[in-house]
Amino acid sequence: MDQLQQLKQHTTVVADTGNFLQLAQFAPQDATTNPSLILKAVQNADYAPLLSSTVQAHKQRPLDQIVDHMLVRFGQEILKVVPGRVSTEVDARLSFDAEATLVRARRIIGLYEASGTPRQRVLIKIAATWEGIRAAQVLESEGIHCNLTLLFAFCQAVACGDAGVQLISPFVGRIYDWHKKSAGAAWNEAAMAGANDPGVQSVRAIYNHYKRHGIKTEVMGASFRNTGQIVALAGCDLLTIAPDLLTQLQASEAPLQRALDPAAARAMDLPAVHHTEKAFRWALNEDAMATEKLAEGIRAFAADAGKLDALIEGQRA
């Protein structure tokens, strides 16, 4: 078996792309999108008709509503290919506004349901800020399941677990990026690979904590830079992987062993951890990597959301 087939024996494989025309060759269970991936997709000639038809059908509506219609349209196309769930993201510019996040999330789910897609097949993707986590807690109570993204710190994972969030996406590659840049010339790529990769270690710590304490929130490693990071997390609940890395996994028949195991985690001596809002904000502040990468990620997604707005405005002019 190739490595992708081996990985699927231990982990649910998710495709990290807005390019739904690519999906079938990898046979993923789920798919995830984000503003950057959708922006990239709509600039592809293959998707130009989808963008144009969606904008024309709703051109009289406010801009934010057109955006949501387009996101849902992409999600619908993805769900024709994957048997499981699609993650659709709330505008990153609302990351510190719980009420506005609730409004957008409910509207997105409403659009999916109006099109005949049950809410069980959709995850609303929200940045793992304190406000985002609080919004997700309310949405989960309404049967709207969430994927908390831009997750870099253990305290974010703790808060998501306490909030009963369906799924979290810790960003392996961006954690790796920060530590590599911080180390500069002292970075030893070989020594920091695989199980020693700081992004891999972050996900392992979260996974073990959740399994040890019976927290039901699913852990989905995300943002990979190489297949070594993926192999080192085999056994994680889910892994969302970009098409280029899925292709590399398909091309290799090297042995792949389970690296994360729930039974082993349940036997670990790990203390229970909970955070008040003040404790959460302090723990996040104390983690320079997480603070910087969370802010950077929100800014980048917000910038791409703005570019998407401009594209849509150009279409309906």
Structure tokens at 276: 């008040």
User: Which amino acid, residue 75?
Assistant: G
| Distance in angstroms (rounded) separating the CA atoms of residues 153 and 282 | 12
**CA 113 – CA 214 distance, rounded (Å):** 31
Distance separating alpha carbons of residues 109 and 102, to the nearest angstrom:
11
Residue with token string 């969606």: 54
Q: Does the annotation count 8 as an active-site position?
A: no
Angle at 184 between CA 180 and CA 188, to 5 degrees: 65
* Catalytic residue of the set 59, 125, 180, 216: 125
**Nearest alpha carbon to residue 264 among 213, 215, 212, 229:** 212
How far apart CA 105 and CA 101 sit, in angstroms, is 6
**Catalytic sites, residue numbers:** 125
